[in-house]
């Protein structure tokens, strides 16, 4: 029995492998209509911040069996409560000591810097507005091109909480919000990356670790739009380096379950590229959706195996290339209206729709296409995703 906090698409995509493994899922959902609540039978309603709801999720008062382990589909959970559950004997995976680095980008940067993991140059901003302003001006003064990236330490996702700035006044609102109790701020160099990579790692409590091939992830407006697995043309030595960095993070932070390590590929000394770690997600991640159709074991199955401390499955790709295209927003009333056309045009496309209400730019689903010819695989994944967004596409 696995208890999961959060009722979005990530919890929803745990349901098929849970059914296959014969594992009961109990998911705490924000609302009875969420993506996960539509497919998980045991889906109590409650907020992730609701201590009583989480306690009831783990050990129902009516005497139903308690959960073997508590895990998450997002990081926004009260850490003190998790520590308390651990003290009470409930396995929480990833544990609160690891999870905090996925909740707070300042804590994460500090810890990765201590571990010697390569990161962008960064600094935490002081709280008092005049001090914050002068610290940011000083950072900008030394920044190439006079640009830097300011981030809220907590609560950001999909680029919300990330701002490229050239002057301190551009984050006056965030500085004021922090004084009023909002999240702390950090500043990072604006990394001149050639592309973004991600390494997905799974680690179980007994220490077994597996990684999937390094992928390229393409963001539009701060949101992941497309993932190519494996990252095309990646120098095998850099791939190995990226893999080692990700394993170092998983082991160094004692992460259990699936960990996604987002990285930047940057030009290094002597024409060789290097990687810098951007951020961490301690759960299945958008950069790993390709594994549902393109690898022997999907990240969702692996997460369940890892948190249950079962042997991890093989992470071998099942095709030369897999491209995942996100469906971000749609002009349709119902995405399923596009299924006849998608099925007829792209019979090889693996469509995954999340059952979410349509809003501009919202992640509503994704399409995976696998094959030998990358250009063709990409064209088909994009084409199917475009039809699901309600767009016209060219005949081919």
Ligand X SMILES: Nc1ncnc2c1ncn2[C@@H]1O[C@H](COP(=O)(O)OP(=O)(O)O)[C@@H](O)[C@H]1O
The site for Mg ion (CB under 5 A) is made up of 279
For ligand X, which stretch binds (CB under 6 A), given 28-36, 159-167, 299-307, 377-385? 159-167
Cα-based angle 312, 316, 318 (whole degrees, multiple of 5):
130
Report residue 77: phi and psi, to 5°.
-125, 145
The burial of 212, by beta-carbon neighbours within 10 Å (0-12 exposed, 13-18 middle, 19 or more buried), is given as buried
Query: Residue 105 annotated as binding?
Result: yes
Identify which of residues 73 and 279 has a Cβ nearer to Mg ion in the complex.
Answer: 279
The reply on whether position 157 binds ligand X by CB under 6 A is yes
Site for ligand X in 248-307 (CB under 6 A): 262, 278-279
Closer by beta carbon to ligand X, 65 or else 159: 159
Which residue, 239 or 261, is less far from Mg ion as judged by CB? 261
Cβ proximity to ligand X: between 35 and 153 the closer is 153
Q: The tokens of 358 are what?
A: 């349509």
End-to-end CA distance of the chain: 47
**Residue 229: CB minimum distance to ligand X, A:** 17
Residues 328 and 319: their CA atoms lie apart, in Å, by 25
Q: 393 touches which of Mg ion, ligand X, none (CB within 5 to 8 A by kind)?
A: none
Q: Considering only the stretches 6-14, 49-57, 70-78, 149-157, report the one whose residues sit in contact with ligand X under the rule CB under 6 A.
A: 149-157
State how far the Cα of 96 lies from the Cα of 79, in Å rounded to an integer.
6
> What contacts 330, CB < 8 A, 6 or more positions away?
358, 364, 388, 389, 390
Q: Which does 107 bind (CB under 5 to 8 A by kind): Mg ion, ligand X, none?
A: none
| Minimum distance of ligand X from residue 137's CB (angstroms) | 18
**Own/partner pairs, 21-29, CB within 8 angstroms, 24+ separation:** 21/301, 21/304, 21/305, 23/304, 23/308, 25/1, 26/1, 26/2, 26/57, 26/67, 27/3, 28/3, 28/4, 28/53, 28/54, 28/57
Binding at 90: pick from Mg ion, ligand X, none (beta carbon under 5-8 Å per type): none
- Crossing angle (nearest 10°) for helices 79-87 and 96-103: 170
Dihedral sign from CA coordinates of 360, 364, 234, 156 = positive
278 labeled binding residue: yes
Give the shortest CB-295-to-ligand X separation in angstroms: 22
Work out how close the CB of 138 gets to ligand X at its nearest, in angstroms, rounded to a whole number: 17
- Which residues make up each annotated binding site for ATP? 105, 151, 188-191, 196, 278-279
Annotated binding-site residue numbers: 105, 151, 188-191, 196, 278-279
Binding residues (CB under 6 A) for ligand X: these are 120, 149, 151, 156-159, 161-162, 188, 190-191, 196, 219, 222, 262, 278-279
């Amino acid at each position: 029995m696995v208890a999961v906090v959060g009722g979005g698409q990530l919890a929803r995509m745990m349901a098929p492998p849970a059914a296959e493994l014969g594992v009961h899922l109990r998911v705490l959902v924000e609302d009875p209509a969420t993506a996960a609540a539509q497919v998980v039978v045991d889906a109590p309603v409650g907020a992730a911040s609701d201590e009583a709801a989480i306690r009831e999720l783990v050990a129902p008062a009516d005497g139903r069996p308690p959960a073997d382990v508590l895990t998450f589909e997002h990081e926004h959970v009260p850490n003190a409560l998790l520590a308390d559950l651990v003290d009470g004997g409930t396995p929480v995976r990833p544990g609160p000591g690891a999870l905090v680095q996925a909740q707070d980008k300042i804590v994460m940067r500090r810890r990765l810097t201590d571990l010697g993991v390569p990161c962008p140059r960064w600094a935490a901003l002081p709280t008092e507005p005049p001090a914050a302003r002068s610290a940011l001006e000083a950072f900008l003064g030394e920044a190439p091109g006079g640009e830097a990236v300011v981030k809220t330490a907590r609560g950001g996702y999909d680029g919300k909480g990330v701002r490229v700035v050239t002057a301190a006044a551009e984050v006056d609102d965030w500085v004021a919000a922090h004084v009023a109790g909002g999240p702390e701020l950090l500043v990072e160099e604006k990394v001149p990356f050639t592309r973004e990579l991600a390494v997905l790692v799974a680690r179980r409590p007994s220490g077994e670790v597996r990684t999937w091939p390094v992928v390229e992830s393409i963001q539009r407006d701060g949101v992941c739009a497309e993932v190519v697995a494996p990252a095309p043309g990646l120098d095998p030595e850099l791939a190995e380096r990226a893999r080692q960095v990700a394993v170092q993070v998983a082991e160094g932070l004692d992460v259990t379950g699936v960990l996604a390590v987002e990285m930047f590929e940057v030009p290094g000394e002597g024409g060789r590229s290097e990687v810098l770690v951007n951020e961490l997600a301690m759960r299945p991640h958008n950069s790993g959706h390709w594994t549902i159709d393109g690898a022997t074991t999907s990240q969702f199955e692996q997460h369940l195996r890892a948190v249950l401390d079962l042997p991890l499955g093989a992470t071998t790709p099942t095709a030369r290339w897999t491209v995942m295209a996100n469906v971000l927003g749609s002009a349709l009333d119902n995405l399923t209206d596009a299924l006849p056309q998608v099925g007829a045009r792209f019979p090889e496309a693996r469509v995954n729709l999340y059952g979410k209400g349509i809003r501009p730019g919202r992640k509503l689903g994704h399409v995976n296409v696998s094959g030998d010819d990358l250009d063709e695989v990409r064209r088909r994944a994009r084409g199917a995703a475009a039809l699901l967004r309600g767009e016209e596409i060219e005949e081919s």
